[in-house]
Each structure stands twice: as C-alpha cells, then as structure tokens.
Amino acid sequence: MKQAIIIAHVFLSFIITGCGSKNDEVKHVTDKENSIDTHADYQVTFIELGSVSCIPCKMMKPIVAQVEKEYAGRVKVVFLDVWTADGKVKAAPYKIRVIPTQVFLDKDGNEYYRHEGFFPKEELVKVLEMKLPE
C-alpha cells in the first residue's frame, strides 16, 4: 500500500511539472488563420495553453496575470483554453502534448522556447528576458 502511494505521488509530480521538459525544436507558425497574431510592438509573445479547469493551469493563472501586468507593452500575453472549440483550433498549430504548455515567440513569430507543465515565475521570467532588450 505504501509503495502504491509513493508511485502515485511520483506520477502526479510528473504530470504537474511536465517533467520540466523543454522542446528544442524551433518553429514558425504558418497557419495565419489559426495562429496567434504577433505584433512588432512586442518583443515576445507568451502563449499559455491550458484550461480553466486544469489544476496545474489554475496554478499558472496568477503567474500569467503578474507577467501581463509587469511586462505590459513589451510582452503580449495570450491564454488559450484548449478545452474549448475556439481554443482547440487556435492551439492546434502548436501541437501540444500536455497542459499547461507555455510557448514563447520572438517579435517575428518564431518559437524560441517551450515548456510543459507548471512553470515557476522565476524561471519563466528568465525565458522572457532572453529576448527583451535591457
């Protein structure tokens, strides 16, 4: 019984953190009808792909709100609820495997970083600042 609890705990940890993974594959979204509109006024577009009903996604909500407030005018923040019809269509080009997934696009719309699972603010800010001028 104790072993089953430990296994369940480890499994849930992997689900919540997304194993801390990052996809090194850089891509440019070419499906203009369903893609997120990047704008030259923003150095970074930060896309949070998740759901309002997912527990790790709910944990990301205050972080996303803080980023939107603290980086207003420099970072475009987009949330897509992938469990809705509209969100599912707009998220399709990003080929996500788990939620939440964070996708970071440079000013030209090229993906430069991806993270799966809960993303602590301190780490997320490091990724934003990779493309923000000092």
Q: Around Cβ 90, how many Cβ atoms within 10 Å? A: 21
Q: Is 19 a catalytic residue?
A: no
Of 36, 47, 49, 57, catalytic: 57
Q: What is the Cα–Cα distance from 52 to 64, expressed in whole angstroms? A: 13
Catalytic residue chosen out of the listed positions 29, 54, 78, 125: 54
Sign of the dihedral through C-alpha 59, 60, 64, 66: positive
Give the bridge partners for 28, in sequence order: 110
Peptide bond into 100 cis (omega under 30): yes
Catalytic residues: 54, 57
